[in-house]
A = this chain, B = another copy of it.
């Protein structure tokens, strides 16, 4: 038996919510109840209200006592999208982490679980190091979550499959809508640095594109990722080529597209900007990038003295990350990473990031399991779409399709005349 401290456990949720982040919360709770709480090492299970923000509040006013939560309530919560404890965009620096450690001491917290992206992993890392330096026994675990799918070490991250499912369904329906009325349709998809979610638009294709030219591909005809430098001239030429042949064109574009120099395209086309606490210009929660691209196409593709083509833009927005009907596999995996974190703690691990490893990908035989990584391997840095997933300047490869399709669950079989 490992030599484990006795005290309380705290669980928090951070960053953009997902459809399944509450599955991970449920997983940590049930893992604790079956393990450390059952053996008496964990006395109380505390939920941090709005992530670490709840922990740095005076006393315990920012904490919710979840010790007595019953199984039915856990199950109902797990099926509910968004962060039930509340989330935060705070990105703790050294001074903030000192306050977090003080909050842990004040509430006798010996087990710290943080569900979030690479910033959350970094928070775990800093707090864990500070605790060790101060001689306060605190075991810190990062539980992965992000629709962007940009965490290192992970095959993929909980939240991504559900968002990818939403994108695939939306693009499938929208592609048929575009076919029925014609014209050019631009869809802006979340993912500031990594193109995985935008790439999932390709799952709307009933048959793979297999390297076909844009106008020969099943819709979506054009896919633009943040990993591939975006040129407005090339974009216009791409759209014109498809529209000239088909009288229509469906486009999936990441909110994070950027030019050769790495500068984001969004702010250049947007008429107004807003900077958030991290210094980022607001790309989500606004239709500005889509409308800017639509203006560009209308202006660029209207013949002299002629009629402008029908151009429409939809910005998928927050619904992609909180749609209440998740990918079934995502729901299961999000639950398991939470439970696994509690199991690592029970086994005497001092600090770790839970990761997802794919162990099988034969058709109909997708398998995954949880494993551990060091916090510093996951913290801060961002994973991007690998080269083998990217086809030229405006599509994805069959390798991406093979990677992503098993994650999203069954998609409806659609037909056409």
Contacts and interface: CB of A to CB of B under 8 A. Distances in A.
A173 B323 contact: yes
A323 B319 CA distance: 13
A68 interface: no
A284 interface: yes
Contact of A85 (B19, B83, B86, B417): B417
Interface in A370-417: 412-417
A363 interface: no
Nearest to A87: B180
B416 A325 contact: no
A84 interface: yes
A322 B412 CA distance: 13
Given A314-B315, A314-B319, A324 B76 contact: no
Given A47-B417, A319-B170, A322-B174, A412 B17 contact: no
B284 A287 contact: no
A173 B79 contact: no
Contacts of A321: 177
Interface string A156-173: 000000000000011011
B312 A318 contact: yes
Interface string A269-286: 001101000000000111
Contacts of A77: 415-417
Contact of A82 (B89, B177, B274): B177
Given A87-B181, A291-B287, A81 B312 contact: no
A76 to B, nearest CB: 3
Contact of A287 (B84, B181, B313, B417): B313
Contact of A81 (B19, B64, B176, B294): B176
* Chain B CB within 10 A, most for which of A19, A180, A324: A180
B271 A285 contact: no
Contacts of A181: 16-17, 86-89
Contact of A285 (B288, B312, B412): B312
A179 interface: yes
B177 A318 contact: yes
* Chain B CB within 10 A, most for which of A50, A89, A172, A319: A319
A64 B417 CA distance: 9
A295 B272 contact: yes
Given A47-B417, A77-B415, A322 B287 contact: no
A209 to B, nearest CB: 20
A56 to B, nearest CB: 17
A317 interface: yes
A31 interface: no
A290 interface: yes
Closest 4 A/B residue pairs (Cβ)? A287-B287, A285-B312, A82-B176, A314-B317
